[in-house]
Structure 1
Amino acid sequence: MSAPLLETTWTDPVTGVRGYLVLDTLVRGLASGGLRIREGCTLEEVRGLARGMTRKEALVYDPADRYLPLGGGKGGIDLDPADPRAVDVLRRFLAAVLPVVRSQWNTGEDFGLRQETIDRVAAELGLASTVEAVFATLEDAAAARGRLARAFAVDVDGVSLGDLVGGYGVARTGVVHLERTGVPVAGATAVVQGFGSIGGAAARYLARSGVSVVAVADRAGLIRNDGGLDVEALLAARDPLGVVDRSALRPSDTTAPNDGWLDVPCDLLVPAAMSYVVTAGDVPRIRARAVVEGANMPTLPDAEALLHAAGVPVLPDFLANVMTNAWWWWTVFGDVEPTAESSFAKIDAVVRRLVGTVSDDAAARGCTLREAALALARRNAEAVQAAVGVTGAGTPAEEAALVRA
């Protein structure tokens, strides 16, 4: 496996907190990927996330779209997002890597960081947005800015459209998988770990599809109701970090420590918060038909191998949670209108195509869904490279691969 194109470790001169920036690949001189704030975040984690962004970008490639995939990048800060120093540390980190943000790295919210927060800090540093590097390449950047601003202004039942598209894609991935495997969607059950942008939206749209969300885990613990939770009430009662106010629970809802989410029987298990939360030692506890990775890298490889051997497929992160990143660029490049209807219709079509292609290929080859998705991403990456070129790390042969195994 070749090294990333750019790898930076930053130390905050005030607090000593570490921050990391990794550009895995560049396409047309550009990379895309969010910035997370998480206590315990490491360079290795950010490196893996950046590689995942390379895969996400390639996976959704459609030659009929105006959007041509970018390379993959990611940033991370090793700090509790609830720490009162977090915004100041974020400001100093972005100031330190500002030249890369201006010219190459297009970023946005990720775990522990809200888009409005990073937008505010970026404005203080003189950036009109956190995707200025892409805007600089467009002939009509003003129109693209307008589309993105209008899209983020859309409210869907009390939640910003920008906070819904990623989780909507996760939910649709799970629903399409149920349909393809013959499990009736109406009456199916789901457990969602994490209740921020991805987890909250996934729970909403699973419930609206007829799936009963029987448990949700947030920082404060597990909320469970085997008859189905009132997801909309929980969304209305969560704080900016995705923690639900327990006073809003119904008498029939129960609470428990948050590590109990793995033990709840369900059809769809949706880890939608942190990385590395499903280990090999956890596999005997899991009583689910499938795992849908709403978070980035939540399932460790040895755990996934055991799940596969037990007949529990894992729909990988770079397939299941790709829609936040894709939606940004579909909006910027004009492949969707800045409306919920246009956005959701595009996501529906792409999810159905991707899950179908990957599932059929996995069945034909006798491989995992992840292996099939990687193969699709590689094929797409080769098509992108033929069209526009790619700058990566290592030898030309390694660069041509673009999507690393």
Structure 2
Amino acid sequence: MSPEPPAAAAARVVDAVLRDLATCEQRGVVVDSPPGAGKSTLVVRAAGVLAATGASLMIVAQTNEQVDDLIERLGAKHPELPVGRLSAVDYVASERVRHHPSCRVGAKVPDLGGPPVTIGTAAKWATVTEGTWPWAIVDEAYQMRSDALLRVAPRFERALFVGDPGQLDPFSTVEVDRWTGLSWDPMQSAVAVLLRHNPTLPVHRLPVSWRLPASAAPVVAAAFYPFTGFRSGTGPADRRLTFTEPATTELDRVLDVAAATGWGLHELPARFTVRTDAEAAAACALIAARALARGALAESETGAAPLTADRIAIGAAHRDQVAAIRSFLPASAREITVDTANRLQGREYDLTVVLHPLSGRRDATAFHLESGRLCVLTSRHRHACVVVARAGIAELLDAHPSTEPVHLGVPVKFPDGWEANQSVLAHLATLS
């Protein structure tokens, strides 16, 4: 029996989600999604379906960038649907919001005129103290802290929670150890708390990544989604990345391997370094710049296009590393995106270059081992990902077993950071 086509498998799950929205008597529906599986597309489609019933709808996103992206998508799919953009007083509408034909911006709910769809960040919704909506859609729900959900929960009766369980957990800039293990720990994700107290809620899983190529989906699924898995929506021959200029340096040869296999590893000599390792930062910048200079062509199921600077990204764990990498970019490559995993989350490129979080380190801390960080960095690409790292990471992992305290009442997080890192490193080792 032949396997179900990817489009049919994805459509079957989306139809089940929409059916639950229409018929399920539970207060919530949860949708788990791997990278690039169409979370935003599902949110936009569900918003249109719910708005068509005549019920007003609130959408909760986690950042202003996500809000503006959803407004742009809503405008493209449902241009006739009035949308209210709930914002701060000093918010300046982005081009994506201004181009929406039926979007109104306001700092307070009454300023919006009662549109069918009202959208804002979780932080902004927390300031709303009056009014209720029959439905809410919570986007990137796994990145929403549980206390943020508690603050907005009085505003809606039922909700659709959509998110990626494999990526970065909610984070805070203050110490949160005092709450660890307690049932009211605000650093738990909104979905974790929701399912802990409502274990019978329906949970759906999108089975296909439309972003990750056939070379990447099995690697990312095995490392970061070991119990659910997913597959690529494209086959091995559906995408090609080719360079018009031949390889002349070692960095060029790494790019050629990445173009042929979907993955590349530029391994520097083993050495303990400061966090802003100049040699590694320079390598990241030069690899991305060479990809741009060699005149690459990206071919996929959507067509063929030159590999331009806006389709290349460099990811790192820390902002000072990002600054160091930017300083090494030549003038011709300054438009290449360079950012941290937190800010790259949700974005998509043809080629990514990743500075491994554990490169050059003497220890393996919880921050650098968080599986979600490496998952974000290695799952932004449509064609190829090049990892830059110093040798010795596998030995570092073996020499530094977890020393983090074990807390009662804290569910064991899967996948484990050690295991996820080793899984990715094992695949990269096969490239040499």
- TM exceeding 0.5: no
Computing the radius of gyration over CA atoms, which structure comes out larger, 1 or 2? 2
Structure whose residues are more often helix by fraction: 1
Where relative contact order (Cα < 8 A, 6+ residues apart) is larger, the structure is 1
Structure whose residues are more often strand by fraction: 2
